[in-house]
Amino acid sequence: MWRQFGDVGPASHAFDVAGTLAQNVLPPAGASKPEQQAALERLAENLRADVALFDTDRSLLAAVGEPLPVPDTARHRGGWLRRWGGPPAGALHLPDGRWLVASVPRGHRHPGFPLFLVVALLALAVGVGAYPVVRRLTARLERLQAGVESLGAGDLSARVKVEGHDEVARLAESFNRAAGRIEGLVGAHKSLLANASHELRTPLTRIRMAVELMKEGADSRRKRDVERDITELDTLIDEILLASRLDVVTERGAEEDVDLLALATEECSRYEDAEVEGQPVTVRGDPRLLRRMTRNLLENARRHGAPPIEVRVNRADGMAELRVYDHGPGIPDAEREDVFRPFRRFAGSRDRGGTGLGLALVRQIARRHGGDARYLGREPSGSCFVVSLDASPSPAR
C-alpha cells in the first residue's frame, strides 16, 4: 500500500501530472489576486471540492470553501497531506512553484471502506487464519510442559509425543532422550546399590564366621583368610565410592602427563606372571585414575583368566592403546558388552562374587579420558581387553 499510494509510488507521478494540468487551467503566477480567485472558483465548482492556492513562500493567494492545510515546502513533489479531523486533501506542486491544495471531492470522500477499516479487517483475517496454527503449536508446548512437570514430580517414565519436524518436535525428542537417560541412570544406581548390598554381605558373613571360629583357637591360615576378606571388602567399598564419584563429578581432576608404558610396567611388577612390552606413549590425565584402570585390568586377568598375563602399550591412529591378554577360558560373544556392567555374573566365571565393579570402572575411566574400553576374544582361547585413550602429540625428532 505504501508502494502504491506513498510519496515514492505511482500516485506520486499522478500528482506531478495533475500539477502540470492545473497550471494550464490557472492564470500565470504574475496575475492579479482577483483573476486567480475567479479561476480558482471555477475550478472548485468543477471539482465540487474545497481548493486553496498558495504562493512559493506558502502565502495564501486564493481559497474557496473550508480552510485547507498549508503544504509542506520540504516536499519536492506533491502528495497527500497528513491531517486529522477533516477530509483527505492533496497538494499539487505546480511547475511555476505555486502550490494547489484540494480536498477530496464531496461526493467521494468516503468511497467504500476507509483505509484504516481495510487494515483492521485484514489484521482480523490474518488473526483468524493464524489461530489454528498457533493453537496447534501452543498445544504441543503445553503437552511438553506437562511431560516436564511429570518428570520433575518423579515419574521417570514420562515421555511426550513427537509431532512434526520443526523446532518443537526436536525439543520433544531432546526431552525424551534426556528423560530416558535420567531413567537409565536412576535405574543403574538402584541396581548398583542393590547388588552392592548383596556383594558386601558375602565377605561380611565369612568374616563373622571366622571371628566365631577364632575364639576357640585361630591358626595362621584362618587369619590370612580373614585378612583377605577384609581387604576384599575394603576394595569393594572403595570401588563403589569411586564409581559414584565418577557418575556425579563430570570435571576431570588434577591432570598431568603420564607415561602409559611406565605406569603399566610399575603395575605389572606386582604380579609374578605378568609381562609388558610396547612403546612409550604419553597420556594427559589423572594418574590415580589411570593407575586404578590398569590395576583393575590386571586383577581381572588374574582372577578370571590364566597366566601368563601379557600387557602391550602402543600408539594407533593418534590414540594410546593398552592391551591386556590372558590365557583363560574367555567370555562368550553374547556377553562381551555385559562384562562391563557392574556386578555382572556370566557363565564360566570362577569367582562366585561376579565381576564386581572393576571392569565397569575401567570403561568409566577410559571414557573420562576421551577413549573407551572393549573386549576382544583370542584364538584358540583367552581374553583381550583393549583400552584406547587420547594420546598427547608425539615429540618432534
Task: Please state, in angstroms and as integers, the Cα–Cα distance from residue 360 to each residue in 186, 264, 332, following that order.
Answer: 16, 19, 18
pLDDT score at 397: 46
| Residue 372: pLDDT band with limits 50, 70, 90 | very high
208: amino acid identity, one letter: R
In the numeric block, which cell numbers belong to residue 293?
A: 584402570
pLDDT of 73 > 70? The answer is no
In the numeric block, which cell numbers belong to residue 309?
A: 598375563
| Residue 4: pLDDT band with limits 50, 70, 90 | very low
Domain segments of the chain as ranges: 2-108, 116-187, 196-248, 256-390
Instruction: Look at residues 85, 86, 67 and name the one whose alpha carbon lies nearest to residue 54.
Output: 67
Question: How many angstroms separate the CA atoms of 235 and 288, rounded?
Answer: 15
| Backbone φ and ψ of 299, nearest 5° | -70, -35
Q: CB-based contacts of 116: which residues, under 8 Å, 6+ apart?
A: none
For range 165-176, the mean pLDDT: 89
Question: How many angstroms separate the CA atoms of 263 and 301, rounded?
Answer: 17
Beta strand ranges found along the chain (DSSP E): 51-54, 60-64, 79-81, 89-93, 99-103, 256-259, 274-278, 282-285, 309-316, 319-326, 372-377, 383-390
Instruction: Look at residues 32, 38, 34, 92 and name the one whose alpha carbon lies nearest to residue 68.
Output: 92
Contact 300, 385 (CB under 8 A): yes
Task: Please state, in angstroms and as integers, the Cα–Cα distance from residue 317 to each residue in 158, 320, 352, following that order.
Answer: 42, 8, 39
Fold annotation for 256-390? Heat Shock Protein 90 (3.30.565)
Residue 380: DSSP 8-state:
S
Q: Which span out of 100-114, 169-183, 228-242, 243-257 was modeled with the highest average pLDDT?
A: 169-183
Mean pLDDT of the chain: 79
Residue pLDDT, tens place only, 376-391: 876 667 789 999 998 8
pLDDT score at 393: 77
In the numeric block, which cell numbers belong to residue 87?
A: 477530509
pLDDT score at 111: 46
| Residue 102: pLDDT band with limits 50, 70, 90 | confident
Q: pTM value?
A: 0.49
| Residue 350: pLDDT band with limits 50, 70, 90 | very low
In the numeric block, which cell numbers belong to residue 209?
A: 564366621
For range 337-365, the mean pLDDT: 70
For range 317-327, the mean pLDDT: 90
Fold annotation for 2-108? Beta-Lactamase (3.30.450)
| Residue 314: pLDDT band with limits 50, 70, 90 | very high
Instruction: Look at residues 132, 127, 77, 82 and name the one whose alpha carbon lies nearest to residue 99.
Output: 77
pLDDT score at 320: 93
pLDDT above 90 as % of the chain: 15
| Residue 99: pLDDT band with limits 50, 70, 90 | confident
pLDDT score at 351: 46
pLDDT score at 40: 85
Residue pLDDT, tens place only, 251-304: 666 688 999 999 999 999 988 888 999 999 999 988 888 999 999 999 888 888
Return the higher-pLDDT residue of 70 and 205: 70
Question: How many angstroms separate the CA atoms of 339 and 388, rounded?
Answer: 17
Question: How many angstroms separate the CA atoms of 189 and 184, rounded?
Answer: 9
Q: Order the strands of the 274-278 sheet from edge to edge.
A: 274-278, 309-316, 319-326, 383-390, 372-377
Question: How many angstroms separate the CA atoms of 100 and 90, rounded?
Answer: 8
| Residue 10: pLDDT band with limits 50, 70, 90 | low
pLDDT score at 192: 73
Question: Which of 34-38, 95-99, 315-319, 331-335 has the least mean pLDDT?
Answer: 331-335
Q: Whats the size of the chain, residue-wise?
A: 397
Question: How many angstroms separate the CA atoms of 337 and 286, rounded?
Answer: 25
